[in-house]
Structure 1
Amino acid sequence: MGIISSNKSIGGITTIPCRGSLNVTIGMTAAPDIVSNPTDIVLILDRSGSMAGQPLTDLKSGVDTFIDIIAGATGGAPDQIGSGSHIGIVSFDGTATQDTGLITSVATLKAAAGALVADGSTNHGDAFTQATNLLSGSTNNRVMVMFTDGVTTAGPDPAHIAAAARAMGITIYVIGLIGDTGIDENALRDWATDPDITHVAIAPTSAELDQIFADLAANITVPGATNIVINEALNPDFVITGTPVASVGTISLLTGTSFRWSIDQLGATATESATVTFPIQHIADTTGTKNVDQALTYTDTEGNAVTFGNPAVFVSCEPTFPADVCPEPVNVTVEGCEDFVEFDASDLTLEDTGRILQLDVNLLNICPGRRVALAVVLTEVENGVTVPRGMKTFTIPAHTRQTCSDVLVTCIRFILPDDGREPCAERELQAKFMAHYIDNDFSCCPAAVVAAQE
């Protein structure tokens, strides 16, 4: 069967803050050649009311593609699945039906899928029961491919029935279409064979179904993989922050953003899965939707064509404006093997002993393309009397985000000399902030001209 599924996941995370972290998992499953290891496959197809229209049309196209690829790879007579393998179809709405037995006729299978009509509720439990019954007498490798676009609305809890099928040695793949009614992704992962990353595929729209079915069928028909090499290179906006952990094979770190995963063989004699998980952190200052990968390549001796997807996450970086900058450092060079160096750092006027107060302020809901005038007034209360300690004003540059956003102004520094106070004495300070837009579309009304009355 070769690499029968592959995927890359960031655990369903859609948004992280600037400099945020997340875990990435790459996974794949391989199985022996379907020609020398005959396989019986049951396609479990959702025909509930929410599948009406284009989703059902796209599902039928994907099923036809799947059947054609299996038939072509098993080398049977024309319009037949060969090499001892079979396909059966179970469809369901409020109840499930065995639309075919485990058969080899391509025409009969396509006709059964083509006759499906969308109507009714969604009974996943009965669907798994009918598929299990269909496979119960098979002595071949056994596979279920469950397709659904909704949550369970009728019948028994499908989780226990799916678990019983897995306990019988049946491999379960689940394809979920998000659709109009939503989908319970956690339930799909609970039904599928582990690891989820290689046995669960989620299609945002029905247009992706044909390719998902084609990829699964194509991978089922090739032999297990040997001498696997996967090269991972992250988007340079991210960095790997921990050692990747692989369930199979070895990891070679190449740089802070790349590594190589090598596996001698996978799925050569039995179905086998492999995963690698690693933590990454965002290190850039830019906001936006960012793909995790810059490049991810796969090679093996058998020439399996394997893709993993490239998940994306939205990184939210608030615009920042540093109000003050630190003084330039004085560079001192120490030559090799020098135990003592004398260096003249020039003159430095010691202004006073005291403290430096650094303030940050978050300007809320600032519209794009508009500068802001900001003032900070610092005072101190001494013996009940408020005395001034400084004032600063800034022009905060306009930000370029698409919507009004908070703008963080950092590093507003005030120097507070001790002026004869005891060292480390407590001081009571007060900071007042004032801000307004600089840019606006206001204009004075033109002078009115009133004609004199005679």
Structure 2
Amino acid sequence: MGLNFSNKVLDRNEITCGEDFFVTLGLSASPNIQNNPTDIVLVLDRSASMAGLPLEEVKVAAKTFIDIIDQNTDGDLNQIIGNGSRIGIVSFSTVATKDVPLTTNVVDLKSAIDALVAGGRTNHADAFKKARELFNPLSTNDKVIIMFTDGKTTAGTDPSIEAKAARDEGITIYCIGLTGSDGIDVATLNDWATDPDSAHVVVTPDPQDLEQIFGDLAANISKPGATNIVINEILNDDFNIIDIIDPNLGSVTLINDTELRWTIGELGKTSNEGASLKFRVKYIGNSSGVMEVNKYIQYMDNEGNIATFGNPEITVDCDNEIPVDPCPIPKEVIFNGCHDHFEYDLGDYTLSDLGSILDLSLTIKNVCPNKDVAVAITLTEVDCQGVETKRGTKIISIPGHNGSSCGDMKLTNIRFILPEENGCSCKTRKFLVGAIANYTNNNSIC
């Protein structure tokens, strides 16, 4: 079945300046559909929230999927799915309907899709149950459910029970989510889908993306797994890779702060198989706004599979970052004319302290509007004999912000001068840093 799915997800939607988050890349692949007949059930949401453009786009996407499977199973777009593979249709709103049993007849499948009408609530449990009932447990065909939905469960029993039962029966579940008017619970889609989640779940806010998603899945289903996979991931300059979690398959090389390479020898050659890579990224810029994390991502394999990872965005808020001890203001020096030599007196400078500088930052969580905050930072050094010496305390007053809701506030450039010490043979220095913060008219919070 080739490379079935490719996806890229972030574990957070919003961060503040200097914060980090996880990025996960996911892939799944299966053997060639020509040599490994597959029964596929398309499970399509037709609840009331799908009215209008969303339902029209999913109809186009589902029919594109069927056409690609039609052509790739026998090499001919002849309205008949070949080589033993079949497709069925289940649609659902308040209850689910078996619109078309597993069949090779493309005309019947498309007619059922064109007849879908939006209305009612969202019963995912009944949808999974009806999809399971379409499969013949005695068939040796591979079994796949492709669940499409635009919202949360609003009718019926717990869908997780039916989804687990399907997976226990050897059915591979893919979930395609459209962020509808009521939002969508990605964690729930992850729970329903086959593991790893990143290789079997994709979510988009744009109905017009659905044809591409369904089309890529169908195109890759016809190819024989994937071998010699190389993925080059390059981040935008305001993001740095600070940690990599070993993937479940393949190996990763960190090229530089913004680039990595993931290689996998083979994926899905004998059965459905998923691969996932997770790495931590830090925002190092100083601007607020909606940011694209990726600059470029490239996928290559020997079979020519298509991988569409997307480019998820993250909202960065730097407005609540307060420098406590800002850097000194530089003096302006202007060099006029074509002189060979120029002198400028920078004036007197008093050396404030000798030793090293410890530069700290602190994020105060959930600071509500129009409330002044007081913060105290204490610094204690512990020598190699375990003796503690106080090195300083800073008291910081922060005026209340006038935002519309409670939010995090980051303090930066909290600087302590560390005097030079000659009486200890330790190669490193150990410090204890304490922080206490409170609204000036409320009880303190440590």
| TM-score of the two chains, using structure 1 as the length reference | 0.71
Distance in 1 of aligned mates of 2:413 and 2:254: 38
Q: Is the 2:216–2:306 Cα contact (8 Å) retained in structure 1?
A: no
- Structure 2 counterparts to residues 178-257 of structure 1, below 5 A: 178-257=179-258
**Secondary structure at the counterpart of residue 44 of structure 2:** strand
- Counterpart residue number, 2:430: none
- Counterpart residue number, 2:69: 70
Task: Please tell me whether residue 33 in structure 1 is matched to residue 32 in structure 2.
Answer: yes
Q: Deviations over 1:61-90 (max 9, x none)?
A: 111101001101111662110011000011
Q: Is the 1:323–1:409 Cα contact (8 Å) retained in structure 2?
A: no
Change (3 A) 1:54 1:411: closer
Task: Please tell me whether residue 325 in structure 1 is matched to residue 328 in structure 2.
Answer: yes
Distance in 1 of aligned mates of 2:233 and 2:184: 31
- Counterpart residue number, 1:176: 177
The structure with the largest alpha-carbon Rg is 1
Distance in 1 of aligned mates of 2:330 and 2:180: 58
- Counterpart residue number, 2:263: 262
Change (3 A) 1:248 1:114: same
Tell me how far 1:136 sits from its aligned partner. 3.2
- Counterpart residue number, 1:24: 23
- Structure 2 counterparts to residues 406-421 of structure 1, below 5 A: none
Q: Which runs of 5+ in 2 are unaligned?
A: 332-347, 362-367, 370-406, 416-446
- Counterpart residue number, 1:155: 156
- Equivalenced residue count is 350
Distance in 1 of aligned mates of 2:411 and 2:163: 55
Change (3 A) 1:256 1:125: same
Change (3 A) 1:409 1:326: farther
Change (3 A) 1:184 1:324: closer
Tell me how far 1:153 sits from its aligned partner. 2.1
- Counterpart residue number, 2:134: 134
**Secondary structure at the counterpart of residue 118 of structure 2:** coil
Tell me how far 1:49 sits from its aligned partner. 2.0
Tell me how far 1:216 sits from its aligned partner. 1.4
Change (3 A) 1:301 1:95: same
Tell me how far 1:227 sits from its aligned partner. 0.7
Change (3 A) 1:412 1:158: closer
Greater shift, 93-102 or 75-84, is seen at 75-84
Tell me how far 1:203 sits from its aligned partner. 2.3
Tell me how far 1:407 sits from its aligned partner. 11
Change (3 A) 1:164 1:325: same
- Counterpart residue number, 1:42: 41
Q: Deviations over 1:186-236 (max 9, x none)?
A: 222211111111211212132222222112111212211111111111211
| TM-score of the two chains, using structure 2 as the length reference | 0.72
- Counterpart residue number, 1:101: 101
Tell me how far 1:17 sits from its aligned partner. 1.0
Report the residue type matching 2:206 in the other structure: T
**Secondary structure at the counterpart of residue 35 of structure 1:** coil
- Counterpart residue number, 2:393: none
Q: Is the 1:76–1:83 Cα contact (8 Å) retained in structure 2?
A: no
Q: Is the 1:325–1:411 Cα contact (8 Å) retained in structure 2?
A: no
- Counterpart residue number, 1:278: 279
Report sequence identity in percent: 49
Report the residue type matching 2:148 in the other structure: F
Task: Please tell me whether residue 146 in structure 1 is matched to residue 147 in structure 2.
Answer: yes
Distance in 1 of aligned mates of 2:146 and 2:126: 15
Change (3 A) 1:323 1:235: closer
Report the residue type matching 1:164 in the other structure: A
Distance in 1 of aligned mates of 2:25 and 2:313: 14
- Counterpart residue number, 1:92: 92
Change (3 A) 1:96 1:283: same
Change (3 A) 1:96 1:252: same
Distance in 2 of aligned mates of 1:181 and 1:94: 16
Q: Deviations over 1:160-210 (max 9, x none)?
A: 011010001000111122222322222222111111112112121322222
Report the residue type matching 2:79 in the other structure: D
**Secondary structure at the counterpart of residue 69 of structure 2:** helix
Greater shift, 106-115 or 130-139, is seen at 130-139
Change (3 A) 1:407 1:164: closer
Greater shift, 162-171 or 189-198, is seen at 189-198
Q: Deviations over 1:344-396 (max 9, x none)?
A: xxxx9979999xxx9x9xxx99xxxxxxxxxxxxxxxxxxxxxxxxxxxxxxx
- Counterpart residue number, 1:295: 296
Tell me how far 1:323 sits from its aligned partner. 5.9
Greater shift, 170-179 or 241-250, is seen at 241-250
Report the residue type matching 1:325 in the other structure: P
Distance in 2 of aligned mates of 1:412 and 1:141: 60
Change (3 A) 1:280 1:94: same
Change (3 A) 1:350 1:146: closer
- Counterpart residue number, 2:429: none
Change (3 A) 1:112 1:260: same
Change (3 A) 1:227 1:313: same
Tell me how far 1:406 sits from its aligned partner. 12
Q: Is the 1:18–1:283 Cα contact (8 Å) retained in structure 2?
A: yes
Change (3 A) 1:274 1:290: same
- Counterpart residue number, 1:9: 9
Tell me how far 1:147 sits from its aligned partner. 1.2
Q: Deviations over 1:78-128 (max 9, x none)?
A: 211001100001111222111111101111100011111222222211111
Distance in 2 of aligned mates of 1:154 and 1:73: 37
Q: Which runs of 5+ in 1 are unaligned?
A: 329-347, 366-404, 414-454
Tell me how far 1:56 sits from its aligned partner. 1.5
Change (3 A) 1:29 1:353: closer
Greater shift, 111-120 or 319-328, is seen at 319-328
Report the residue type matching 1:82 in the other structure: G
- Counterpart residue number, 2:365: none
Distance in 1 of aligned mates of 2:83 and 2:258: 45
